[in-house]
Amino acid sequence: MKKTIFVLLLIVLIVIGLLIAVQVKNQLVAQELIVVNEVNLGEVNLSTKKEFKIQLTNNTGKDFEIAKVYTSCGCTGVLVDESESTSFVIKPKETIYVKLEFDPSSMHQEGDNIDHEVYVLVSNPVEKEYVVKILGEVI
Amino acid sequence: MSKSCCDKTSGKELKGILKPLLFIAVVPTVVVVGLIFLISKSQNTAAVDRSEIGVSDTTYKVDKNSFSFGTVSMKDGIVETVYELTNTGSEDIFVKELFTSCMCTKAQLILSDGTQTGFYGMKGHGGLNDFYVGKLIKAGETVNVKTVFDPNAHGPQGTGFIKRNIILSTNLKSSPNIQFSFDAEVIK
């Protein structure tokens, strides 16, 4: 009898432990900002500037402070007015689009593969740099 | 009778003489042939097309993966930094290509014996072979990757925060691309 009770208690404890672990994992996942991994611009004409957007979604219950958005190449720039800044806050359950522009004429030539990166630096709640690959081909 | 007797004796004597003679002749011949084979093999290896060198399972360490220039003024012009890379494993690393993420950034490989490559820039500004390095980083060797950033490369519009990457494409088995980066706040 005592042995049965012990085994039952052990099973209950294991189940509770598993439930807590799943909950903690979900909370950790929910801390993340949802940022696309890559944007494919497809074929971009050498003489044409190509505008594109990066989607940032905050599915958590906290504000996300974006410290800055920057790029790996001078040919790719964030589209903001001079008075504006690339730092902003994404409210809970909010989705924001960052507008960027790729200008192939400045650094590319026909037939080049586009392989650049855009960085989104989150300063709060945790500091993290998200990387978005920008792909395509210059024609 | 006596002739056959003497023939037998001389045959035995002959065998007795031939045995050490054969030994003396064969052993050095085998050694010499073996040495010639080994030498020719090593010469063939040295002549192998570097582009066909196999993967390297070695390890490496760097003094820094990223660097911050802080504020860089356009009027002060070009800034530079050096990344140090050490092959900590037992196999050589073959550097296939060196390139950067932007035309404003150029990088150069400097080997431990002082050999310097030219400066390499962003892919898209030349033919396919323009980024070919073809150098070995020997086991235990430390090399430098000198990096130069020109804040004026994008004209007066090129202000703001930037991040640039320098990539060494190698024959490393895991993660063949060794990447360094730097950032800067570019002001007028």
Residue A121 sits at φ, ψ, to 5 deg, of -100, 115
> In this predicted structure, what is the pLDDT of residue B3?
47
> In this predicted structure, what is the pLDDT of residue B74?
95
Which residues in chain B come in under a pLDDT of 70?
1-23, 34-53, 124-129
Inter-chain residue contact A109 with B160, CB threshold 8 Å = no
Question: pTM value?
Answer: 0.72
Inter-chain residue contact A71 with B163, CB threshold 8 Å = yes
Query: Hey, is the C-beta of B158 within 8 angstroms of any chain A C-beta?
Result: yes
**Separation of alpha carbons B119 and B139, rounded Å:** 24
A119 CB neighbours in chain B (<8 A) are 163
Residue scoring higher pLDDT (A58 or B12): A58
Q: Searching chain A, which residue's CA lies closest to the CA of residue B124?
A: A108
> In this predicted structure, what is the pLDDT of residue A36?
87
Tell me the per-residue pLDDT of A16-26, one tens digit each, with 9 for 90 and over: 888 777 666 55
| ipTM given for this complex | 0.73
Question: Residue A131: pLDDT above 60?
Answer: yes
B124 CB neighbours in chain A (<8 A) are 107-109, 112-113, 138
Q: For strands A128-138 and A38-44, give the pairing.
A: parallel
Domain A34-138, classified CATH 2.60.40.10, yes or no: yes
Structure tokens at A34: 């949802």
**Considering only CA atoms, which of B99, B106, B186 is closest in space to residue B151?**
B186
The CA-to-CA distance between both ends of chain A, in Å, stands at 79
A71 CB neighbours in chain B (<8 A) are 162-163
A73 CB neighbours in chain B (<8 A) are 101-102, 122, 164
Closest-CA distance, B113 to chain A, in angstroms, reads 32
Closest-CA distance, A42 to chain B, in angstroms, reads 17
Inter-chain residue contact A71 with B162, CB threshold 8 Å = yes
Q: What is the mean pLDDT of chain A?
A: 85
Interface of B with A in 101-130 (CB under 8 A): 101-104, 122-125
Query: Hey, is the C-beta of B74 within 8 angstroms of any chain A C-beta?
Result: no
**Separation of alpha carbons B69 and B72, rounded Å:** 7
* Nearest neighbour of B163 by CB, restricted to A70, A75, A86: A70
> In this predicted structure, what is the pLDDT of residue B46?
37
Question: Residue A42: pLDDT above 50?
Answer: yes
Cβ(B87)–Cβ(B155) below 8 Å? no
Q: Searching chain A, which residue's CA lies closest to the CA of residue B166?
A: A72
The CA-to-CA distance between both ends of chain B, in Å, stands at 118
**Separation of alpha carbons A34 and A60, rounded Å:** 10
- Whether the upstream peptide bond of residue A125 has omega within 30° of 0, thus cis, is yes
Query: How many other CB atoms are found less than 10 A from the CB of residue A52?
Result: 19
